[in-house]
Chains A and B, each alone.
Chain A
Amino acid sequence: MRNLRDNSLSLAFLIIFLASLAGQALVGHGLFNHDQLLHGGDPISLGRYLTTSEFSADVAENWQSEYLQFSLYILGTIWLLQRGSPESKKLDEAGLESDEQQKVGRHADTRSPLWARVGGLRTTIYSHSLLIVMFTLWIGSWLAQSIAGWSAYNAGQLDHQAATVTWLGYIGTNDFWDRTLQNWQSEFLAVGSMAILSVYLRQRGSPESKPVGAPHDATGVES
């Protein structure tokens, strides 16, 4: 029970992620078949729909923008500041900070992760591991979006007896950049909104908020 409580945040989001992915599959399947009928085609099964490039592209385009959002957020908050926001570091702490502040090498303690203690390349890699993984997940899912989107685009072309394009040709199309940019704009809006709104608004109990009574210009302060 303790494990459940101590991991409730990740578990809760895993559950709602799976539920919404399942929901997306169902409504996406319905939409695909609606389009099939409009074009005089036959509806397909849910199982068949899950193997289509249309479904893969719809999933991947959202994943890539989420991982880009967090990559930029992680990277940006190293150096960029927002007075009064709990999302920002304190105004005099921009940058990678000292080894002592980051508890690496000889400044690590007995409970520090091994790679924080050992120094050298391993500590360097571990020091940037969160950004490395997030960035890699972004690149991977963007690549997946480009491949699945290319296939879905070409399926649409063939449905209209039009010429297909190469993958390189596809990543220059309005279709690829429309899928990409419509997701990016919402992610950047969300982060920017959070950075600003958290200056003036509060949510009691959330670590994403300043304490209710904290002043508006208190920066880098969380509950």
Chain B
Amino acid sequence: MRRALPLAVLALALVACGRSGDRQTVRAVATGFYAAADHHDGARACALLSSQTRQKLEEQESESCEKAIDEVELKGGPVGKVSVYSTEAAVELRGGDTVFIEDTKVGWRIAAAGCRPTAHARPADCDLEG
């Protein structure tokens, strides 16, 4: 068992806990985005979106992200559960939305927000997604 333990611990350390700092970072991205949206700081909110999500929002609303973000239905709340798996993460806001975040070349950015879970096997219903 002594030989098995290092292998399992290595896997656990590398993937189950995530890289150090990732949990704090995705938490900050989620709270930062909702705070910016709440204060109508479109520039700050849009800077925290992934490029694909930002582009899709602009195409859907036919206006700049900084203006379009105000149209998105967002429901914030205190941070509940933070999940980080490989290059994907999710932050559940207690009483509010779930935010899906991905690791991009410029850091962790929001892939989808304003999400509410649906039936177990189906994707969440999101007001903002890439």
A residues lining the B interface (CB < 8 Å): 36, 40-44, 48, 51-54, 56, 60, 133, 136-137, 139-141, 143-145, 147-148, 150-152, 154-164, 167
* Shortest distance from the beta carbon of B87 to any chain A beta carbon, whole Å: 6
Residue of A nearest to B53 (CB): A40
Chain B nearest CB: distance from A79 CB in Å? Answer: 25
Residue of B nearest to A63 (CB): B7
A28 CA to B4 CA, complexed, in Å: 25
| Bound CA span A155–B90, Å | 10
Instruction: Find out whether the CB atom of A53 lies under 8 angstroms from the CB atom of B124.
Output: no
Contact A155 B14 (CB under 8 A): no
Determine the distance from Cα of A155 to Cα of B5 in the docked complex, in whole angstroms. Answer: 25
Which of B1, B103, B105, B129 interacts with A161 by CB under 8 Å? B129
- With a CB–CB cut-off of 8 A, which chain A residues contact B105? 42-44
Is B42 part of the contact surface with A, judged by Cβ < 8 Å? no
Interface size grouping (class) on chain B = 35 or more
Which 10 residue pairs spanning A and B have beta carbons closest together? A140-B4, A144-B11, A53-B15, A155-B86, A158-B88, A140-B7, A151-B15, A154-B85, A155-B85, A40-B52
19 contacts across the A-B interface (CB closer than 8 A): A42-B103, A51-B19, A53-B15, A137-B3, A140-B7, A140-B8, A141-B4, A144-B7, A147-B11, A148-B11, A151-B16, A152-B86, A155-B86, A156-B88, A157-B85, A158-B83, A158-B89, A160-B123, A162-B124
